[in-house]
Amino acid sequence: MPLRHIAMAFFVAVVWGFNFVVIKLGLSEVPPFAFAFLRYVFAGLPLLFFIKRPPISFKLLIAAGLTMGFFKFAFLFVGINYGVAAGLGSLVLQSQAFFTILLSVFVFNHRLEFHQILGIVIAFTGIFCIGLQTHGNANFFGLCLILCAGFSWGVSNILIRKAGPIDPFSMIVWTSLVPPLPFLGLSFVFEGKNALVEIAHQLTWVGGACVLYVSWIATWVGGTLWTKLMSLYPPAHVAPYSLLIPVIAFLSGWLFLDETITLETSLACFMIFAGLAINQYTRSTRHQTSITQTDTDLNSQEQQAA
């Protein structure tokens, strides 16, 4: 990756790492499903008539919108709402890197090497240890929900890669049109039919700023840059940079939310980080070249078929 794309990946990590603090603050004023509904309303509707639809099928567009928007953030917001700390939630969400690689094996026929399997085992052992350290069913349940969010993110990475080289901003805007109605339905069922009315009367400038941050900065800026990287490089090559997200989230949570974790949880988090590092950063140059060539061949075949 050229330096500008590496810097782009670092910037996305900062935007999304701080996003967990913003979500935590926003959920103190807005219930999770209504929060997600407002996020995608502001992310999609303002630009609907100004941004051309990406040249992909509606089936792929809807699938990407559901996995990247609805399922991922439904699980994530509810998990954080159940008491999972911002930094811890961001760390567990990076299980998406494993899911991305495992799905790449089945979709793109990428070979899974021993060090990747070892990394997966170590990291999921760490996640299991975190589950043992949580006190009460609510936190453990929230942890499981965030794992589901990580799987949804992994699926969306594969779908973005299959979409090929497209305008990333167009992809983000149009996929943002998919989640609002499902989130609105969940809000009506679980948060009450008057939830949005109550929010309109009670929302402070802090809550409003949180909604706009996740809608415009995290979704438009972060989502567009991440989609661009995923469309340019193999998913397993881009995913490692998401490891920076928990670092930013933990620092942000410590600075702005006064969050702390126990020594045992810190060690478990280190296991997850170590597993991710082993899984992602110890590939040989030959393996990287093989993956890139495989994706190039697949893209050539898809273009010829089209």
Taking CA atoms, 245 is separated from 45, 130, 235, 273, 274, in Å, by 28, 18, 17, 11, 15
> What's the pLDDT at 263?
76
In 3D space, the residue among 167, 245, 237, 234 whose CA is nearest the CA of residue 11 turns out to be 245
Q: Confidence band (pLDDT; 50, 70, 90) for 80?
A: confident
pTM of the model: 0.74
In 3D space, the residue among 226, 219, 280, 192 whose CA is nearest the CA of residue 45 turns out to be 219
Q: Confidence band (pLDDT; 50, 70, 90) for 131?
A: low
Taking CA atoms, 198 is separated from 20, 31, 192, 212, in Å, by 24, 11, 10, 18
In 3D space, the residue among 239, 237, 242 whose CA is nearest the CA of residue 295 turns out to be 237
String of b and e for 54-69 (b: at least 16 CB within 10 Å)?
bebeeeebebbbbbbb
Rounded CA separation 181/41 (Å)? 9
Of residues 239 and 144, which shows the higher confidence score?
144
Place of tokens 């996995």: 67
What pLDDT, in 10s, does the model give residues 7-56?
A: 898 899 899 989 888 988 888 888 888 998 999 999 988 888 889 998 88
Rounded CA separation 306/110 (Å)? 23
DSSP-derived letter for residue 109 is -
What pLDDT, in 10s, does the model give residues 177-217?
A: 999 999 999 899 888 888 888 888 888 998 899 999 999 99
What pLDDT, in 10s, does the model give residues 83-129?
A: 777 667 777 887 887 788 788 878 877 676 777 778 777 877 876 77
- Count of C-beta atoms within a 10 Å radius of residue 167: 18
